[in-house]
């Protein structure tokens, strides 16, 4: 359908298979259908793709929790690579010239993240912090290695500290 995006269902099954067979320490899955359907102005398929993605994330989580090497020690960071505009036309678009598309969200679930529910940010968070947050959860310090990056998002890490800061094993 698209030049550089596959259907999320194909990607989901590949991700499930990869998790089972290769058991990576870190895995990135980039679902792209919602963005494509929004650009095409297909709100019906946009919603369907969003519902499917919710289910794919649930099934990936349940798979991880069914595998001893991941159970109770896996974190999912779920986010979008950009926001979208709003209103009758701008919901299809995003970018510097589209109002409100600078807004974004992040969901984090895992043993190091306090289950505080939905919150509105109290201080600005940016995508520049995500790499360092992932690294902190893996006992690595990305921000020290790449100072131009953002610092880890402390309040998704237990006690606001990195694992390495608490001296925990990897
Ligand atoms: Zn897009």
Q: What is the pTM of this model?
A: 0.88
Query: Residue 169 falls within a domain, yes or no?
Result: no
49 & 116 share domain: no
Cα–Cα distance for residue pair 138/74, rounded to 1 Å:
10
Query: Residue 168 falls within a domain, yes or no?
Result: no
66 & 135 share domain: no
**Span from the CA of 110 to the centroid of ligand 1 (angstroms):** 29
**Span from the CA of 34 to the centroid of ligand 1 (angstroms):** 9
**Span from the CA of 105 to the centroid of ligand 1 (angstroms):** 16
State the pLDDT at residue 165.
41
Task: Give the model confidence (pLDDT) of 128-148 as tens digits.
Answer: 999 999 999 999 999 999 999
The residues near 113 (Cβ < 8 Å, ≥ 6 apart) are 75, 156, 157, 158
101 & 63 share domain: yes
152 & 100 share domain: no
Structural domains in the chain (count): 2
| Nearest Cα to Cα of residue 34 among 98, 82, 70, 77 | 82
Query: Residue 80 falls within a domain, yes or no?
Result: yes
**Span from the CA of 36 to the centroid of ligand 1 (angstroms):** 6
State the pLDDT at residue 159.
60
Contact status, residue 60 vs residue 29, Cβ threshold 8 Å: yes
34 & 93 share domain: yes
Residue at a domain's end among 60, 86, 106: 106
**Span from the CA of 69 to the centroid of ligand 1 (angstroms):** 35
Task: Give the model confidence (pLDDT) of 34-50 as tens digits.
Answer: 999 999 999 999 999 99
129 & 74 share domain: no
Q: List, in sequence order, the alpha helices (H) in the chain.
A: 8-22, 33-39, 43-66, 87-90, 130-137, 142-145
**Span from the CA of 7 to the centroid of ligand 1 (angstroms):** 15
**Span from the CA of 22 to the centroid of ligand 1 (angstroms):** 31
State the pLDDT at residue 121.
67
85 & 143 share domain: no
Query: Residue 170 falls within a domain, yes or no?
Result: no
| Nearest Cα to Cα of residue 103 among 119, 117, 85 | 85
**Span from the CA of 95 to the centroid of ligand 1 (angstroms):** 8
Boundaries of domain holding 40: 1-106
**Span from the CA of 63 to the centroid of ligand 1 (angstroms):** 29
Q: What is the dihedral of CA 110, 76, 54, 34, to 10 degrees?
A: 150
Residue at a domain's end among 70, 91, 106: 106
> From first to last of its 170 residues, what are the pLDDT tens digits of the chain?
999 999 999 999 999 999 999 999 999 999 999 999 999 999 999 999 999 999 999 999 999 999 999 999 999 999 999 999 999 999 999 999 999 898 889 999 999 999 989 888 667 889 999 999 999 999 999 999 999 999 999 989 976 544 444 433 33
Residues 99, 84, 148, CA angle at the centre, nearest 5°? 85
């Amino acid at each position: 359908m698209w030049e550089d995006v596959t259907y999320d269902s194909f990607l989901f099954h590949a991700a499930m298979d990869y998790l089972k067979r290769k058991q990576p320490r870190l895995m990135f899955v980039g679902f792209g259908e919602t963005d494509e359907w929004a650009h095409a102005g297909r709100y019906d398929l946009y919603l369907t793709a969003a519902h499917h993605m919710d289910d794919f994330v649930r099934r990936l989580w349940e798979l991880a929790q069914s595998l001893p090497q991941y159970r109770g020690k896996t974190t999912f960071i779920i986010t979008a690579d950009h926001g979208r505009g709003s209103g009758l036309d701008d919901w299809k678009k995003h970018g510097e010239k589209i109002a409100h598309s600078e807004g974004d969200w992040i969901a984090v679930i895992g043993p190091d993240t306090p289950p505080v529910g939905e919150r509105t940010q109290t201080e600005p968070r940016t995508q520049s912090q995500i790499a360092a947050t992932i690294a902190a959860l893996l006992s690595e310090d990305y921000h020290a290695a790449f100072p131009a990056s953002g610092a880890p998002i402390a309040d998704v890490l237990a006690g606001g500290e990195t694992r390495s800061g608490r001296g925990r094993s990897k």
